[in-house]
Amino acid sequence: MDDQTTFARKLRRDQTPAERRFWVLLLPWRTAGWHFRRQAPIGPFVVDFVCKREKLIFEIDGDSHYFDEGIERDIARTAYLRRLGYTVVRFSNDNVLDSDEGVFEALRRVLGEPDLRS
């Protein structure tokens, strides 16, 4: 089995509280027919949330992303994903856990209003 796939499965089983909360915040769009995958392998990376149809990735970043090494890694990762045509949107764990209303509003700006009539 592919190491990235095995790693992605482990990450799906062991989601952080912020990732679990973000999945709930996506629910209105998921209910409306948007297809998101959690912890999905793309190239050499495993992204937190992806809508492949819209070429849209959401990353939920913990503390390690805000030190020099993590910042450099994220710059390279984002550049790679953009070359593949993806838009990458980042939120911090703190944003998702402490300001979920703000994150929901940001999702509405990016995704539009969820159409619950579907």
pLDDT per position as a tens digit, 70-104: 788 889 999 999 999 999 999 999 999 998 899 99
Residue 78: per-residue pLDDT: 95
Domain ranges of the chain: 3-111
Predicted confidence band of residue 1 (pLDDT cuts 50, 70, 90): very low
Angle subtended at Cα 61 by Cα 44 and Cα 106, rounded to the nearest 5 degrees:
110
Predicted confidence band of residue 69 (pLDDT cuts 50, 70, 90): confident
Query: What token pair was written down for 16?
Result: 């952080």
57 CB burial (10 A radius; 0-12, 13-18, 19+):
buried
Residues 13-43 have pLDDT tens digits of 668 999 999 999 999 999 999 999 999 999 9
DSSP strand pairing (37-42 vs 87-92): unpaired
Q: What DSSP element (H or E) covers 92?
A: strand 87-92
Q: Are 57 and 49 in contact (CB under 8 A)?
A: yes
What topology does CATH give the domain 3-111?
Endonuclease; Chain A (3.40.960)
- Say yes or no to pLDDT of 51 above 80: yes
